[in-house]
A and B are shown apart, each in its own frame.
Chain A
Amino acid sequence: MRTGFFLLLFISAIVSQGQLTITGQVTEKSGEPLLGVNVYLQGTYDGATTDIAGRFSFSTSEMDSLVLIASFIGFHDAILPIASKSQELNIMLKEEVSVLNAVIITAGAFNASDENQREVMKPLDIVTTAGATADIPGALNTLPGTQTVGETGRLFVRGGDGRETKTFIDGMLVHGEYGPAAPNTPSRSRFSPFMFKGMSFSTGGYSAEYGQALSSALILQSKDVADNNRTDISLMSVGGDVSATRAFKNSSLAGKVQYTNLTPYFELAPQNLKWDKAPTGLDGNFAYRLKTSKTGLLKFYTNLSTSRMELFESEIGNPEAELPVTVSSDYAHVNASYRELVSEKWGIRGGVSMTTSQDFASISDNSRDQKLNGGHVKFVADYQHSDRLAILFGGEVVKRSLDQVLSDETGPFLQNFDETLTASFLETEAFASSALAFKGGLRMEQNSLNGKTTLSPRFSTAYKTGTNSQISMAYGQFYQAPQTQIILTESSAHAEKAAHYIANYQWVKEGHSFRIEVYEKRYDDLVKYASIYESNTFQFDGNGYARGVDLFWRDNKTFKNMDYWVSYSFLQTEREYRDYPGSFTPAFASSHNFSFVMKKFIDEIKSQIGVTYSFASGRPYNDLNSEKFLGGKTPAYHDLSFNISYLYSNQIIVHAMVNNVLGINNIYGYEFADQPDNAGVYTSRAITPPAKRFIFLGVFITLSKNKGINQLPNL
């Protein structure tokens, strides 16, 4: 017994002295050997790294239940139990589809992200674009697929009207995203680009998660928890602002108060408009971010603003008669969103947003007073089955109630509606390999006002044709409620419809990007009417099309410290809708749009300069003195803008901007008198920018313990 015990011990000692040699080869699916793979026995030091032929060899004295692991970046680990005798192993690793190598569906989408080097835009690009005056739509208007419509300041995408583009912040729909403006002057987005860490500007074919936009979705992601305390002070020719950020352990609080008053500027720079009270505004933004766990984040954001302006507008037929115009707006938007990874495979996110606004505009005795209350609740779950298959689904309720009072000498005229839109969506993304991706989605919407249910399928796919190039295609159906005045007149008016077909080729190589995209868009169920206030003249069978080609080239490598991009869009579009007597090209559409944007940092003068040139071919306008409907054509639009940011010290920056440096007389269209004059001619007046040039000056000061921080990235 005792000897037996010793014998056992002895044998096991001998065996443990024995060596097992493990050799083999690691390849990928195609048979290509993999170099640098870590092949080892789990829980031990024993292992080797594969050579250029994918071969490895090592010996071990371990004997018990050996588990071999082959691990390599970009591939799934191979885990295999091995027998306790020397053998030759052939291991094949399966490629991992990851953010770094996976093909991205780019049809219709311009994404901006700090992280991903393969995106063609960065959030910062928005703010440094000359002529954009740090306005998100202003900067996006230098991208292909947009049409310059200078008198509105809004995003007109691929033959779509400005209202066909919707803005989403952290997944939540934003009502009333533009601030107020005097008649025929551009409005600005209420949301500052500095708030966002990423944005996706879709010119078509976007995800089933988003609805109620016929042409385009602007999807903005706000910043996460701030890491540093800082205080910023800006003194500008149009006002000033103070903002402060306080960072805590797992949360941050930021606030900004801005006061705008254009009176001093308008005193100095003559304006075409006769101002009584130049625009003044008070804006407050507050943001709170809380990390609820390692993966959970709660965001709270609110924007409060009030603004007012008064001016005189002369009557077209009788320039002597000056009519008083008042525009005022009070706006509040609250947005809370939350996201969390519930498990390795399940993620949830959701949010609530509320908007309330009161917009008032009057011209002499005629006025319009609109009171909007909007609410949005949304929930989304995503399930990551594997690196190759993901499913996303969710639901949302969007409420909108609008009260409008139109007044004229005959008295007030009240209209209102209360709309509840219930939507659910499902989308799945599948990768056949890192080079081939498919996305399919379905969105269902139900509208309480017309009782109708719509179903919109969306499909897209992308295929990597080479290391730097890919093709992508998208198809989708989109529904959107008609313009608010239509619903006010006839609440049962049903949604208008668009179908997008997009094909895209993209080539991106370190510092250079090239994109070409062709598209076809079909509009159906557009509202036609003889009078927008008389529902018995409504017909819902209008239609139209838009087709074109968008080109984009960007290069930030060829010239030192210099970045430039060139966009060109060709558009052909016609619609039969509204009170059109047939199919015509709408007044907001121009066939050719071109932009050149350049930014350069000049070390010698510690300054960044920016130049933007924009061109748009003439737009149709309806000449009342001509037999032909929409028969007039404006001259082409040109703008050359320039900006400079001078780094006075680490934390003080001086910024100046001038648009329309060349002083070109741009004409956006013509307005006509209501009645013809004695000679039977309708007097006309050109719609022009309120001033030939706009000049902006500002000093930006940052107070922070951390001297690496200043406002340069904001300019």
Chain B
Amino acid sequence: MKKNLILILCMLCTSLTFANGQFEKAMGKNVPAMFAAETSEDLQAAINNLNRIGEAEKNRWEPYYYVAFGYLKMSEMYQTAEDKDKYLDLAMKAVEKGEEINPNDSELEAIRGYVNMIKLTVDPATRGMTYSGLAFGSFQKAIALNPNNPRAHFLMGRMQYGTAQFMGGGTDDACSSLFKAMVLFGKEEKSDNPFAPSWGKGSTEQSIKELCEKGN
């Protein structure tokens, strides 16, 4: 009987590790699929998969983080303001789901700011006032929560650049944020969590090249 108990316990162990393995496997497949998707169909499929993972795993915020990122990508694939808003609203809903599981997280706060920044670009003339405040507010909070989050600094830099473009003004603030982001990307250590956000280094390099090294 004892043996059987152990056997059952062991089966439980394996099924537990299997469940964990399943999360890693599914995320390992769908996060890259989301980043790689080039058509809205592929992207929607990856987002749907990530949403399913999120709903099944009640205490993982990462699936929702990538769902939000996926919908941000999706909004870029559409032209009309109505379509863009539709996907940006879905992105914001995903951010909120993630925040319920993991409140006060620098990465989620940064992506919240990202969604507001893109919402602003849909109609800068009318939304500038409200959404620039929301986006700046989130980036500031994301940096306060984790001063070493390179993505928060990168997004802050993009926002400062966009503001300078729209309102007039130099790129000094934007570039200093971007350089800061670059330094932090260099220092960013491999997290214990394989699904912690790690994107952004390439985009930062690109932005620095375009905005801060012109004529230098």
Contact = CB atoms under 8 A, between A and B. Distances in A.
Interface of A: 5, 35-36, 38, 40, 42-47, 49, 51-52, 71, 73-74, 100, 114, 117-118, 122-124, 227-228, 510, 606, 647, 649-650, 706-710, 712-713
A549 B90 CA distance: 41
B125 A45 contact: no
Give me the 6 closest cross-chain CB pairs, A-B, nearest first.
A38-B48, A708-B132, A49-B45, A36-B44, A708-B163, A227-B133
A510 B81 contact: yes
A706 B136 CA distance: 7
28 contacts: A36-B45, A38-B51, A43-B55, A44-B56, A45-B22, A45-B56, A49-B44, A49-B49, A71-B51, A100-B85, A100-B86, A117-B82, A117-B123, A122-B126, A124-B125, A124-B129, A227-B137, A228-B133, A228-B137, A510-B82, A606-B168, A650-B169, A706-B133, A707-B169, A709-B129, A709-B132, A710-B167, A712-B167
User: Among the interface residues B49, B81, B130, B167, which one has the most CB atoms of the partner chain A within 10 A?
Assistant: B167
Given A47-B48, A647-B168, A510 B133 contact: no
A646 B164 CA distance: 15
Indicate the size class of the contact surface on chain B.
35 or more
B145 interface: no
Interface string B191-213: 00000000000000000000000
Contacts of B56: 43-45
Interface of B: 4, 22, 26, 40-41, 44-45, 48-49, 51-53, 55-56, 80-82, 85-86, 89-90, 123, 125-130, 132-134, 136-137, 159-160, 163-164, 167-169, 173
A647 B126 contact: no
B92 to A, nearest CB: 13
Contacts of A43: 55-56
Interface centre among A36, A124, A708 (most CB of B within 10 A): A708
Contacts of A710: 167
B127 A114 contact: yes
A36 B41 contact: yes
A47 B169 CA distance: 50
B19 to A, nearest CB: 10
Given A73-B90, A510-B80, A649-B168, A45 B133 contact: no
Contact of A709 (B48, B126, B133): B133
A100 B168 CA distance: 34
Contacts of A46: 52
Contacts of A650: 164, 167-169
Contact of B82 (A5, A100, A649, A709): A100
Contacts of B127: 114
A47 B160 CA distance: 42
Given A649-B169, A707-B169, A40 B52 contact: yes
Nearest to B79: A510
A46 to B, nearest CB: 8
Contacts of A49: 41, 44-45, 48-49
B52 A44 contact: yes
A40 B51 CA distance: 10
A47 B52 contact: yes
Contact of B81 (A117, A123, A708): A117
Contacts of B4: 5
Nearest to B57: A45
A47 B44 CA distance: 13
A647 B128 CA distance: 15
A461 to B, nearest CB: 23
Contacts of B126: 114, 122-124
Contacts of B167: 647, 650, 708, 710, 712
A513 to B, nearest CB: 13
A122 B48 CA distance: 35
Nearest to A197: B130
B134 A227 contact: yes
B182 to A, nearest CB: 22
A51 B48 CA distance: 13
A45 B169 contact: no
A52 B56 CA distance: 26
B117 to A, nearest CB: 11
Contacts of B130: 114
B136 to A, nearest CB: 5
Contacts of A510: 80-82
Given A124-B129, A706-B136, A710-B167, 5 more contacts: A36-B48, A100-B85, A123-B126, A228-B136, A650-B169
Q: Which of B4, B85, B125, B136 has the most CB of A within 10 A?
A: B125
A118 B86 contact: no
A713 B167 CA distance: 11
A713 B52 contact: no
B197 to A, nearest CB: 21
Contacts of B86: 73-74, 100
A74 B87 CA distance: 11
Contacts of B128: 708, 713
A49 B40 CA distance: 12
A43 B51 CA distance: 11
A35 B41 contact: yes
A5 B1 CA distance: 11
A36 B127 CA distance: 30
